[in-house]
Amino acid sequence: MIGLLLTGLATGLLAAWIPTRGHWQIVHPRRALLLWAVAGILGLLLTATSVLYAAVHSLHVHPAGAVAESMTLTLVAWMGLGGLGVAGSLALLGRGDLGDEDGERPGIAELLSRRRTTSWQSGRITIVQIDDPRLIAVASASSSPTIFVSSTARNTLAPSHLAAIIAHEAAHLHQRHALARHLGAWHCACLPKRSRLRRDLTNRILLLTELAADDSAASRVGPAHLLDALSSLHALAPSRELAVRAARVRSVHGLLGNAPTLHRPPHRTDTQRHAESQ
């Protein structure tokens, strides 16, 4: 029972290491996200099973049984139930998207408050053009699948570039990246607040969801169009993330030519991003 509990806790910790250690995840982002989710769920199930086992058996220990066994089962049961309660509270408090912490990404409430100028359908996804001076393209799965595109983005970007960006946002919806980021926020909340592992996991979940969406968009509109779109966005609003993503598309998909020059805007961190790069 103790071994099962320790195994569950170790598996949960291992899940945080899977997307953060090494560079193979950059080439295979969807595989890394899947392994992370499976390991995390497995660790949670093992931990919950050990706690329930201890709780049930602590109530059925024979009076003549070993006192140490009874005390151990009771202690594990109460500590485990308390830990699961804390984890549940963190899940409720940490439902936000990991990207909500960077002050650049517009919230859904803000997008809904903008004046809608037009809308159109792309399969089951509704694309809504909003009146906003920023270069914005943001997917929202809160009610119905929706992609918000600013009038500035639609009027500034070439049609092929806009199509690539919309394909990228549609991939976020199809691959349920909002759910992955919610789970990532909960997982990070369970880790020590100032730990390096927590920072690394936050950064990697955000990055891997972007890279997975890039791969899907590349398969839909072509890697060359996606690379051109990322380069165009980078030229309009220089961003380290855009430059890194463009360089990766060129490398992974075997494209020739130069990726955008990497510029780090002042007073920004790697996890802070422009809304148009989502």
Tens of pLDDT, residues 15-43: 999 999 989 999 999 999 999 999 988 88
More confident residue, 58 or 277: 58
pLDDT of residue 63: 52
pLDDT in tens, 61-84: 545 455 454 555 455 544 544 454
> Which letter does DSSP use for residue 123 in this model?
T
At 20, give phi and psi (nearest 5°). Answer: -110, -15
In total, the chain counts a number of residues equal to 278
pLDDT of residue 77: 46
| Closest to 244 measured CA to CA, from 231, 225, 228 | 231
pLDDT over 60 (residue 90): no
Band the pLDDT of 253: cuts 50, 70, 90: confident
pLDDT of residue 192: 82
Q: pTM of the entire structure?
A: 0.77
pLDDT of residue 268: 42
How far lies 176's CA from each of 78, 94, 137, 165, 236, in Å? 35, 17, 17, 17, 29
Q: Do the Cβ atoms of 130 and 114 come closer than 8 Å? A: yes
Average pLDDT, the chain: 78
> Which letter does DSSP use for residue 155 in this model?
H
Q: Which amino acid is at 229?
A: A
pLDDT of residue 131: 93
Give the lowest-confidence range in 64-78, 96-110, 247-261: 64-78
pLDDT over 70 (residue 130): yes
Over residues 182-201, mean pLDDT: 86
Partner residues linked to 121 by β-bridges: 126
Band the pLDDT of 139: cuts 50, 70, 90: very high
pLDDT of residue 161: 95
Sheet containing 116-122, strands listed edge to edge, beginning at the edge strand earlier in sequence:
116-122, 125-130, 146-150, 137-140
Question: Which range, 12-16, 86-90, 169-173, has the best average confidence (pLDDT)?
Answer: 169-173
CA distance 50 to 81: 10
Joined tokens for residue 46: 């093992």
